[in-house]
Amino acid sequence: MSDNHSNTNEPKLHVEEDEKHLLLDHNYDGIHELDHNLPNWWQFTFYGAIVFSVFYFIFYQFLGGPTLRDEFKKEYSKIEALQAEMKKKSGGFDPELYAKIVADGGVKKGEEVFVANCVACHKEQGIGDIGPNLTDKYWINSKGTPETNYPVVFNGVPENGMPTWAGVISTEEIYQVISYVQTLHNKNLPGKEPQGEAVEDNAATTEGAATDAPQAQ
């Protein structure tokens, strides 16, 4: 590559009169360059970025600016608070655990839990007394499904006389007794008059405990 202007194949170069002094003294395959100053906007962003980086560095390295991890933790704690609230509301019903407990003889064990803790108010076979009849299709606090009965038993309805069972019996026993309650559903045994809303379409059979489980999300 020659750096000389006398290449014969080269088309004649046109340079404005007032730009002649800017023309650099080299030639790359016929390409000439004018030595313009960098545009102001370009210099402004370049030097601006340098100045910014100094403050940025000092803030995040020395003045305790939050790390990405800190920012993530802060955002995530909001999600966790929401999740905890949701869990509290639902009593944290876990359909997989429920299915497992049912498969593990939960109904039978649940009957024992029921006899020991619940008959005082719901009577034998849940026909109702102080507490509502659990053998009809009417429900006050739930839809009669395991996932909607669970929070009622877990949290109780203390203001209406249904005790809180969380901490009194184990979580496993709550799941077991729920699965037993499920077997009472729609037996329509004579007992306490219906209370609450009729729930028509929930699959509550004697096997309801097991068949209901996968419906929960």
CB of 172 to ligand HEC, least distance (A): 13
Q: Give the nearest distance from C-beta 78 to ligand HEC in angstroms.
A: 32
Positions touching ligand HEC (CB under 6 A) are 114, 117-118, 120-122, 130-132, 134, 139-142, 149, 152-153, 157, 160-163, 165, 177, 181, 196
Closest distance to ligand HEC from the beta carbon of 59 (Å): 55
Choice between 101 and 153, CB closer to ligand HEC: 153
The answer to whether the CB of 198 falls within 8 A of the CB of 84 is no
Rounded to whole angstroms, how far apart are CA atoms 15 and 126? 102
Three-state secondary structure call for residue 169: strand
Least distance in angstroms from the C-beta of 158 to ligand HEC: 9
Which of 23, 169 has the CB closer to ligand HEC? 169
Residues 96, 70: Cα–Cα separation, whole Å: 34
**CB 175 within 8 Å of CB 105:** no
Buried b (16+ CB within 10 A) or exposed e, 187-213: bebebbebeeeebeebebeeebbbebb
